[in-house]
Amino acid sequence: MRALRQALVVATCVAGVLAGTALATSNPWPAAHARLRYTIYKPSQTLGYKLSGFGYQPCPGGKSKASLYATYGTYRGVLGSNTKGFDIFEGSPAICSDHGEFASKGTQTIDGVKAQVGVYCDPSERCPLADGVKKGYILLWRRGATKMQMDGAHITLAQLLKVARSLEPVG
């Protein structure tokens, strides 16, 4: 009986550790905060999309150790016609990747800061702001020392701005 009780206690402890590990891997933001030496931001509003990708991009030869990206929904870049959702890129002093070509469409205010708004298309083409739903939107701004970029496709600019305005510091 005593051996059975000890086995149950051990099994319960192991199950608790495994559940905690699974929870930690489903929420990678705290580990990213501990790893990176700049303030990172997590959206409190995700439009119902689940986190589907998360990782680091090394900065070869740069001052940053890495920048961060998080993907929500089925978003796979603006070239994927059947994808829906958004990406967030963050880095300091720079984001360690280059965005594609886009046509600038003015600015929007996010937390008191002007953010550049663009539509992914050849800048020499005439593409109205409304084309961003199909071709993809881009937002670029700085929040303190952190550079921010958000991309989204098959969502409206208002939805992308709603997510951008919901970003909260992690930690």
What's the rounded Cα separation, in Å, for the pair 30 and 40?
A: 10
Q: Please report the pLDDT score of residue 110 as a whole number.
A: 97
Q: Are residues 149 and 125 in the same domain?
A: yes
Q: Please report the pLDDT score of residue 80 as a whole number.
A: 56
Q: Are residues 51 and 94 in the same domain?
A: yes
Q: Are residues 42 and 110 in the same domain?
A: yes
Q: Are residues 141 and 97 in the same domain?
A: yes
Q: Are residues 19 and 90 in the same domain?
A: no
Prediction pTM value = 0.81
Q: Are residues 13 and 81 in the same domain?
A: no
pLDDT in tens, 46-63: 999 999 999 998 887 665
Q: Are residues 85 and 131 in the same domain?
A: yes
Question: Which residues constitute the domain of residue 92?
Answer: 36-169
The total number of structural domains in the chain stands at 2
Q: Which of 140, 137, 138 is nearest to 114 (CA)?
A: 140
